[in-house]
Amino acid sequence: MAKEFPRTKFAIVGAYAGNNQNLGSLSFADSEMGYLAGVVAALKSKTHKIAYIGGIDYPELKANAAMIERGAKAINPATVVSINWVGDWQDSAKAIALAQAQINAGADVLLVQVDAAGLPVLTLAEQAGIYAIGTAQDQHGVAPKAVLTSIMQNVPALFLHGATLVQQGRWEGKQYKLGLQDGVQDLAPFYGLLTPDQEQTVKAIRNDIMLGKIDVLP
């Protein structure tokens, strides 16, 4: 379609390099939020074992998982991070089974990125008396005793950024990776589940990421 309509600007959401003309992509800087989520998990974990439950191992999600481990180990190098893939976005039974196995192995914080299949995992964490971190939107209401925070992604703001580039004549048909500085993603509130000192640590690290003081490139 981009070739057929060269004067029209096209954007997809995802990790696509673009054609350097009229077709580009808008994507989230997942590694920023992965690092921050790892920091939160390590600050809260008492067993020093945390687990990532992901959907399909797309390159951007694998990078996110790698940064979760880097962020966690920045807080405590002894932290063990287990990476688990469901292989699907709807298979809640498998997501629950993977999460339960990690809980049985001692994980006390779960980072859940499995779309709809992840919601029962948040409930499982609450039932098990451990903690979880949600994704895409504030998922605290699903399991208020368990969800420490969530990685929030503001899709309308992502689209608006692309539209603004087009309106200003600055669309280059490349990948635009947007993050904290662009206001398209952030952490949800902690709802009192972190101590004030822990919240300050997260805030300081968040600021350092925005200032480029921390390497969040996988």
What does the pLDDT look like over 20-67, one tens digit per residue? Answer: 999 999 999 989 999 999 999 999 999 999 999 999 998 889 989 999
Amino acid at 147: V
Same domain as 34, residue 21: no
Write down the pLDDT at residue 15: 81
- Domain with 173, as residue range(s), is 10-27+155-181
**Rounded mean pLDDT of the chain?**
95
Question: 45 in a domain, yes or no?
Answer: yes
Q: Is 206 part of a structural domain of the chain?
A: yes
Give strand ranges (E) for 17-136: 23-28, 49-54, 80-85, 109-113, 131-136
Comparing CA positions, the residue from 178, 171, 135 lying closest to residue 156 is 178
Average the pLDDT over each of 41-50, 58-67, 70-79, 194-203 and give the range with the smallest value: 58-67
* Contact in structure between 57 and 114 (CB atoms under 8 Å): no
Looking from the CA of 51 toward its CB, the CA atoms found within 13 Å total: 25
Query: Contact at 8 Å (CB) between 140 and 189?
Result: yes
Q: 50 and 147: one domain?
A: yes
Max CA pair span of the chain: 57
pLDDT in tens, 151-160: 999 999 999 9
Number of domains in the chain: 2
Q: Are residues 72 and 21 in the same domain?
A: no
CA 188, distance to chain mean position in Å, is 11
Same domain, 168 and 148: no
Whether 21 and 104 map to the same domain: the answer is no
Q: Is residue 197 part of a domain?
A: yes
